Each structure stands twice: as structure tokens, then as C-alpha cells.
Amino acid sequence: MTETPHLITLQHQLAEKFEIPLPESTFEQFSIQLTAWVKNLIVNDMNKLLYILYRVDVEEEKMLKIIRENSIPHGAQLIADALISRQLQKIEQRQTGTTPSDIPEDEKW
């Protein structure tokens, strides 16, 4: 992943919503900090991690599969990347006013 203009917004959202102590930093530093935080949750508080994945709207089953099939450090990196990717997607959607069109009919409100 590369530097993005939404980095500060992303950092603030994750830090505020989920009480993550992530100071403003470069994208690479942010990713490393988030990965360490996710790794800690995998080891010490899986329920909190699952709650966060639910709140951010990251597919829980996919993340559980990542945890089962990878080492904890690699799985934590993949989950951190998924959190970042989903939050950036939501930030961009809010700014453009678009919504995803690939939502199945039975899941629409």
C-alpha cells in the first residue's frame, strides 16, 4: 500500500472508534502499529478483534480463515491491511457519495 491523502482521516477514525493508540505517522509506520495492535488482539482478546471487524464491515469468516491458515504475525498483517483497505473504501465512498452496487438483493435494506 502507498501513502494516501486519506491517511490522517483513517488514523483518526481507527484510533477514535476502537481506542487504538495510533499517533499520526507515515503510512508504513501506521501499518506497522496497526499490525502490532491486531497481533495483540489475536493473542489476548479475539472477541474484541471480531467486534472491530464487524464494526468496520470486514468479512469475519475470511479473517478467521486468515488466522487459521497463517502464522500470527502474517495473519495480523493481512487483517491490518483489510482494516485499512475497508476504511479507505468507506472514506472514498463518503466523499464521492457513492455506495457499492454489488450488494446482494437479500442483504439490502
Looking at residue 31, its pLDDT comes to: 84
Which grid coordinates belong to 61?
A: 469468516
Domain assignment present for 76: yes
Q: Is the pTM of this model over 0.75?
A: no
The domain tally of the chain equals: 1
Domain range for 4 is: 1-12+27-92
Statement: residue 70 has pLDDT above 90? yes
How far is residue 45's CA from residue 39's CA, in Å, rounded to a whole number?
Answer: 10
Looking at residue 79, its pLDDT comes to: 94
Domain assignment present for 108: no
Domain assignment present for 4: yes
How far is residue 22's CA from residue 83's CA, in Å, rounded to a whole number?
Answer: 14
How far is residue 37's CA from residue 39's CA, in Å, rounded to a whole number?
Answer: 5
Domain assignment present for 37: yes
C-beta separation of 87 from 56 below 8 A: yes
